[in-house]
Structure 1
């Protein structure tokens, strides 16, 4: 399983200070995120945290909220900072993964349809095999410009619809774990871009 890595995307205090934040799904998400991290630790799959940084507001360094949420287990792996929606380009993460011959990414974190989905799409285009663990992602209700409201559950369903069999395999934590014996022996295509120097944020 050394060719795999778990991405924990934007699970940071910043979201707790956004006007759209809704804690309704938080306990269920937290349980699944921790379950996924623990499962990957048992398989010695590298766990990589990504934090989103902006110039102002709760996602700025000055806010003091660009730090992992307290429920996450202690993290001793690499941490990358990003300033765009995908976690791979411009953060040094893609280069880091390529240098370590990691070709399979497990996607989790916040928000489902935004940075998690965008990372899955970009990762697929870069040649990675993607497992998108929807239950280990979190998002919030949104309102369309036409006034129609979409629940967090509806948004997650839409993300699964557009990613499945095109950009990613959609799976639960249990399904992911059950697939690991076959995954460990499956050949994987190399990513499509060449290696450059990585930049890791501590």
Structure 2
């Protein structure tokens, strides 16, 4: 796998509110936070661009609502902001896709001549997947670090329930099998970025 010298790491919604298990329910990928930190570190140490995304929920009961502590980026992410040798962008959004945030992610990427995106963050099947699908539709080469994402158990129509692992796998299969993104491991990305 080749990682471009200017490939952007997009760190999606790694916020304190996702620690509220009573609200979200059981999660998967317990190692995801360590893997997200490892990706930020290698991107910053190699001078590659990093995009930090924060979800500002408009739902008053959401742990991600502005003005509530859960809206803040997790401590290990906040500590790393501004520490890289490469370009950095911070954007906020109120919907699933980072391409529909402020400032405009697409405009920033075009101006910098970036065509490859690596996605990590929360939730696998929501904001990570939506950003990946949009990125693919817009012509970017999208790579998703599967084990640097996580999600939660989910209930859908007809009383169907899926565990967080099942939801994440379904998301990965749809993205990879559908040609929206290449789904890989953190280690593969670290090795490729360090090469």
> What TM-score does the superposition give when structure 2 sets the normalisation length?
0.83
CA contact 1:8–1:108 (8 Å) conserved in 2: yes
Counterparts of 1:131 and 1:179 in 2: how far apart (Å)? 12
Query: How many pairs does the alignment contain?
Result: 182
1:174 aligns with 2:187: yes
Shift of 1:164: 0.7
Counterpart contact for 1:113–1:159, Cα < 8 Å: yes
Show the counterpart of 1:93. 105
Deviation of 1:20 after TM superposition, in Å, equals: 3.8
Q: Distance in 1 between matches of 2:114 and 2:139?
A: 11
- 1:103 equivalent in structure 2: 115
Match of 1:13 among 13, 16, 19: 16
Q: Which runs of 5+ in 2 are unaligned?
A: 83-87
**1:82 CA displacement:** 0.6
The structure 2 residue matched to 1:62, chosen from 62, 67, 72, is 67
Equivalent residue runs for 1:33-44 within 5 Å? 33-44=36-47
Offset of residue 33 of structure 1 = 1.1
- Once the two structures are overlaid, the 10-residue window that deviates more, 121-130 or 91-100, is 91-100
CA contact 1:2–1:102 (8 Å) conserved in 2: no
RMSD across aligned C-alpha pairs, in angstroms?
A: 2.2
3-state SS, counterpart of residue 102 of structure 1: coil
Q: Distance in 2 between matches of 1:120 and 1:11?
A: 16
Choose the corresponding residue for 2:160, options 141, 148, 161. 148
Q: Which residue of 2 aligns with 1:4?
A: 7
Higher share of residues assigned helix: 2
**TM superposition score normalised by structure 1:** 0.81
